[in-house]
Amino acid sequence: MSTAKPTLQRRPLVKKILEGADDNLLVIAGLGSSNWDITAAGDRPLNMPLWGSMGATVSMGLGLALAQPSKRVLVITGDADLMMTLGALATVAAQSPDNLAICVLDNEKYGETGNQASHTSPRNNGPTDSGSGADLAMVAKGCGFADTGTVRDQADVAQLVKDLRTRKGPVFRLVKVMVEKLEFVMPPQDGAHLKDRFRQALLGSA
C-alpha cells in the first residue's frame, strides 16, 4: 500500500458526490468531518448526519438499505468511525444489499479530536513492521465485498462519483483525503429533529 501523503480535498469531493441528489438518495454521514462535509454540500432532509454515535454509520446505512430497497443509500464516513465497528462490513457483505454504497474518507487521523494518528496512518515501528497502517479496502474485501477500491487521485473522482451513485452494491470505496483545517458547517444538532425530518421526507407524515 502507498504511504504517499494524500492530496484529495474532501469538501469539493463530497460536493461532487452529492451533486444533483434527489429523493432517491438517502445519505448517512459519520460524526465529525463527514457530517460537516455533507452539510457544506447543502443540508437536506434526506441527509442523516450523525452526532457523537461513533461506529454506528455503516450499520445504520445497512438497516436503511434493507428497509428501503428502492432507494439508493450512501454512507459517507471517516476511517476511525468505521474502525470502531469493522464487523459491520461482514454483515453488509453477508446481506449484500444492491442499493448500498459506502465511501470512507480516510485522512489517517482522528480529525475531530485533534488529528491524532488513527489506525490507517503509516507508521515506523522498525524492520518487522510493514509500516503501512490498516487498509480498510482490504478489510472490506476480506469481509466478502466483491466490489472494493481505493481512490487517491483527482483523475479517478468522476468514476468514484458514478460508482457511489449508480453501481450495483454493495460498493465500498476508500478515498485517501488530505488533512485540512476546514470551517465547521453544522447541520441541526437535535437528533430527534433530524430523525423526524428524515422520516417525513422519506415516508410522508404517516
Ligand X SMILES: Cc1ncc(C[n+]2csc(CCOP(=O)(O)OP(=O)(O)O)c2C)c(N)n1
Binding site for ligand X (CB under 6 A): 30-34, 52, 54, 78-81, 105, 107, 109-113, 118
Say which DSSP state 103 is in.
E
27 phi and psi angles, rounded to 5 deg: -120, 125
Q: How far is the CB of 43 from ligand X (least distance, A)?
A: 18
Q: What is the dihedral of CA 198, 140, 30, 66, to 10 degrees?
A: 10
Measure the CA–CA gap between 29 and 10, rounded to whole angstroms: 13
Which lies closer to ligand X via its Cβ, residue 110 or residue 198?
110
Q: For ligand X, which is the closer residue by CB, 109 or 197?
A: 109
Please report the DSSP string for 137-155 in residue order.
Answer: HHHHHHHT-SEEEEE-SGG
With respect to ligand X, which residue has the nearer C-beta, 34 or 99?
34
Q: State the nearest-atom distance from the C-beta of 33 to ligand X, in Å.
A: 3
Q: How far is the CB of 30 from ligand X (least distance, A)?
A: 5
Nearer to ligand X, 108 or 163 (CB): 108
Nearer residue to ligand X within complex by CB, 80 or 92 = 80
Q: Which residues of 158-170 are buried (b: 16+ CB within 10 A; e: fewer)?
A: eebbebbbeeebb
Residues in the chain: 206
Shortest approach of ligand X to residue 115 CB, angstroms?
8
Cβ of residue 100: shortest distance to ligand X, in angstroms? 19
CB-closest chain residue to ligand X: 78
- Residue 38 burial class via C-beta count within 10 angstroms: exposed 0-12, middle 13-18, buried 19 and up: buried
